[in-house]
Amino acid sequence: MDYNSLLENSKLALDLVGGGTDIATKLRELLKRGNKGGEMSPEVAELTLELQNQLINAQRAQLSILDSLIELKKEVMEADRQLELQRSYEPFATAGGAIVLALKPNEDGNQPVHYICPDCADDGKRRILQPQGTGKRCNPCEKFFPFDAPDDRPVRRPVRDDWIR
């Protein structure tokens, strides 16, 4: 999210609306002087057109602000989800040398011990790793995390021993 462009768009909208107001004031003054011929003077016609264009531009700027705000809202929601994940999970080194995120102890007694994908968590997504062979896999991003100790270790312990606290 580009906060500067949000501010610039807000300012632009204000300037455009301000320009429209000035033109409307001039238009009112002209009309006050009277239009007895029944035909609109060229100045009035020109100012009316200018006013219309200004208002169209103002609308465009406002739409752009709306887009920026929607984008901002999405980012705030994503940041909230990331914070929530940071509160509930902590980095965990597997015997296979991978770093994943583990549910913090006593975080939620109803949840089984599990791990989530650190890469997806960076995007605010909580994706539980599923067992696959000697490790676990994040199905959505297809990344594999080795959990078992490498084969050259003297004793190869089962995965469960590695993560039970």
Residues that bind Zn ion (CB under 5 A): 117, 119-120, 127, 138, 141
Can you tell me the distance from the alpha carbon of 128 to that of 110, in angstroms, rounded to the nearest whole number? 15
Q: Minimum CB separation from Zn ion for residue 123, in Å?
A: 9
Token pair of 54, please? 């200004």
Residue 9 or 115 having the CB closest to Zn ion: 115
Tokens 């301000």 locate to 18
Residue 12 or 120 having the CB closest to Zn ion: 120
Distance of CA 121 to the CA centre of its chain: 14
Q: Minimum CB separation from Zn ion for residue 120, in Å?
A: 3
Q: Minimum CB separation from Zn ion for residue 96, in Å?
A: 17
Residue 54 or 94 having the CB closest to Zn ion: 94
Q: Minimum CB separation from Zn ion for residue 72, in Å?
A: 26
Residues in the chain: 165
Residue 58 or 101 having the CB closest to Zn ion: 101
Angle at 145 between CA 143 and CA 147, to 5 degrees: 160
Can you tell me the distance from the alpha carbon of 116 to that of 83, in angstroms, rounded to the nearest whole number? 15
From the list 106, 73, 112, the residue with the least C-alpha distance to 87 is 106
